[in-house]
Amino acid sequence: MRIKVINPNTTWSMTHTIGQAAQAVAGPGVQIEAVSPAHGPASIEGHYDEVMACMGLMDEIRKGEREGVDAYVIACFGDPGLDAAREIARGPVLGIAEAAMRAASFLATGFSVVTTLERTVVIAEHLVVKYGMQSHCRKVRACEIPVLELENPASDSYTKILDECQRALREDRCGAIVLGCAGMADLCQRLTQALGVPVIDGVAAATAMAEALVRAGLGTSKLGDYAPPLPKAYGGLLAGMAPEAPPAQ
Ligand code: 5HY
């Protein structure tokens, strides 16, 4: 089984962290391929970054389809391009935010999300509504850490994240914490030990869930809005990204 874990930003040190988190939960016979697109933002910290990251993300999914990849993880907490990716993929495509929220809902009656910047809180809040998690998510909190600071060993990111998690457990009536950034994946175990509650890293949750779906013989529906995009011309820089006619059955 091949699972392609895509970090939609172009910071390969974060992609390596993400790949290690996915590999740690992958079962026997599962090949994890962790990649970043060749083009796009170094980090994703808002709506514009998300949109611009999606071109490279779609290209990675298109390449995966040609190579026979069985499932995909979109390793960015905004779940950018998730529905578009599901149109062009045969297998399951999981976003780390959706996977982490659903996993947390199995483990506690309420969870809080701890993410990086205040300006991205609304993105996570929109996903809470999209995924029907309003009765489970107590709050989305930010530590005011730029995403790439997580890659700086000299930063005090861990302490800031731990402090915000402790505030959440004191104030939000939550029983679990969802880490709101793929770049936090390598802090999950340490935070779990320090906090004494389930701390869910979406990379691990999404990888485990994707593997389970493939093992159950399940893939993305191709009826309705997840059917392949309609073939048409694309102009300019995107000419090579035009939807192709589906292979003859
Ligand atoms: C992420 N940004 O997981 C998101 C989440 C965030 O570059 N990887 C990013 O921190 O806003």
Q: Could you tell me the CATH number of the domain that includes residue 211?
A: 3.40.50.12500
Q: At what angle do helices 157-171 and 188-195 cross, to 10 degrees?
A: 40
User: Which pTM value belongs to this model?
Assistant: 0.97
Distance 246 CA to ligand 1 centre (A): 33
Atom nearest to 147 CA in ligand 1: 10
Query: Which among 1, 12, 6 is positioned nearest to 148, based on CA atoms?
Result: 12
Task: Determine if ligand 1 sits within 6 Å of the CB of residue 114.
Answer: no
Residue 248's pLDDT is 64
Residue 244 confidence (pLDDT): 78
Report whether residue 115 contacts ligand 1, using a CB cutoff of 6 Å. Answer: yes
The residue among 139, 136, 120 whose CA lies nearest residue 183 is 120
Q: Which residues of the chain have pLDDT under 50?
A: none
Give me ligand 1 centre to Cα 53, in Å.
11
Tell me: do 209 and 91 sit in the same domain.
yes
Does any ligand 1 atom lie closer than 6 A to the CB of residue 143?
no
201 in contact with ligand 1, CB cutoff 6 A: no
**DSSP for 132-200, written as a single string:** T-TTTEEEEEE----GGGGG-TTS-HHHHHHHHHHHHHHHS--SEEEE--GGGGGGHHHHHHHH-S-EE
In a domain, 161, yes or no: yes
Residue 76 Cα, ligand 1 centroid: separation in angstroms? 5
**Residue 181 Cβ contacting ligand 1 at under 6 Å:** yes
CA distance 233 to 244: 10
Confidence (pLDDT) at 42 = 98
Pairing of strands 93-95, 111-115: unpaired
Atom of ligand 1 at shortest range from CA of 41: 7
Residue 177: predicted pLDDT: 98
Does the CB atom of residue 182 touch ligand 1 within 6 A? Answer: yes
User: By CB neighbour count within 10 A (0-12 exposed, 13-18 middle, 19+ buried), where does 234 fall?
Assistant: exposed
In the block, residue with structure tokens 């890293």: 201
Q: Could you tell me which of 83, 73, 86, 128 has the C-alpha nearest to residue 104?
A: 128
Query: What are 29-52's pLDDT values in tens digits?
Result: 999 999 999 999 999 999 999 999
* Other C-beta atoms lying within 10 Å of the C-beta of residue 152: 12
Q: What is the pLDDT of residues 154-175, one digit of tens each?
A: 999 999 999 999 999 999 999 9
Q: Are residues 191 and 210 in the same domain?
A: no
Contact status, residue 26 vs residue 211, Cβ threshold 8 Å: yes
Domains in the chain, number: 2
Residue 247: predicted pLDDT? 60
The answer to whether 213 touches 9, Cβ cutoff 8 Å, is no
- The residue whose C-alpha atom lies closest to atom 6 belonging to ligand 1 is 181
Distance 139 CA to ligand 1 centre (A): 18
Residue 221 Cα to ligand 1 midpoint, Å, equals 27
| Whether residues 84 and 123 fall in one domain | no
Q: Does 61 lie in the same domain as 43?
A: yes
Q: What is the extent of the structural domain holding 34?
A: 2-95+205-241
Is 166 found in the same domain as 86?
no
